[in-house]
């Protein structure tokens, strides 16, 4: 399911598994298949064991490649994990943006983005925990990567907001961080992410348009 949800494992042009023996496939296609399987495997491995306990041996075993192949693609476990994190993050961001673009006004775009975001995460909660919780266990470089992603969402929020002029950047960042914290709490508790949809909508509207506008949501 990771492949279908996060789009890091394969496309129609990239084989999921390589034929045994001499196959005559283009080397770039072989490399793409190996890399995609490593990204899928690191997500699954960290979901099963946690970042600290996951090993490169675990990752290559799950990907069906050699350790030599791993080091042809990545310098270390962190590099592989962050590549998977960035691939999943890019996929989710584009999914959210497409949903937002389908709506007409600011509140509609905000609601559509929240709906798409939560549905995407709820499709695979174990892997959502990997990229929203285990990222903190991967060290300062991983946390910096997470902050860049939050910056991206904050900037997108500013672009969509009808009256963003004069609103400090910190407000947009605070809304993104608060939403992340609420999602992480749900993931830790194992409770329904989709129940957060009206809460996150009210949070964003209250912070960016005022309590009266939020109350009018019903």
Which of 24-28, 127-131, 190-194 is predicted with the least confidence, judged by mean pLDDT? 24-28
* Whole-angstrom distance, CA of residue 177 vs CA of residue 40: 27
Token pair 């190996």: residue: 34
Using alpha carbons, select from 186, 184, 183, 158 the residue that is nearest to residue 172: 158
Residues recorded for the chain: 218
Lookup: tokens for 64:
């069906």
Residue-wise pLDDT for 45-72, tens only, equals 999 999 999 999 999 999 999 999 999 9
CA dihedral 74, 151, 196, 39 (to 10 degrees): -10
DSSP state of 19: P
Residue-wise pLDDT for 31-51, tens only, equals 888 999 999 999 999 999 999
Q: Quote the pLDDT of residue 68.
A: 96
């Amino acid at each position: 399911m990771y492949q279908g949800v996060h789009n890091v494992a394969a496309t129609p042009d990239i084989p999921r598994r390589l034929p045994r023996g001499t196959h005559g496939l283009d080397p770039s296609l072989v490399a793409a298949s190996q890399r995609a399987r490593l990204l899928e495997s690191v997500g699954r491995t960290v979901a099963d064991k946690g970042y600290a306990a996951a090993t490169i041996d675990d990752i290559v075993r799950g990907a069906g490649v050699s350790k030599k192949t791993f080091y042809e693609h990545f310098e270390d476990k962190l590099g592989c994990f962050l590549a998977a994190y960035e691939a999943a993050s890019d996929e989710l961001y584009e999914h959210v943006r497409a949903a937002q673009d389908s709506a007409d006004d600011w509140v509609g775009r905000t609601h559509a983005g929240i709906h798409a975001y939560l549905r995407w995460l709820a499709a695979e909660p174990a892997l959502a925990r990997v990229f929203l919780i285990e990222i903190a266990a991967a060290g300062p470089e991983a946390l910096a990567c997470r902050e860049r992603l939050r910056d991206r969402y904050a900037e997108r929020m500013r672009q969509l907001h009808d009256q963003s002029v004069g609103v400090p950047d910190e407000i947009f960042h605070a809304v993104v961080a608060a939403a992340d914290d609420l999602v992480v709490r749900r993931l830790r508790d194992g409770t329904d992410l989709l129940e957060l949809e009206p809460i996150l909508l009210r949070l964003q509207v209250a912070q960016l348009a005022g309590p009266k506008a939020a109350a009018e949501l019903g």
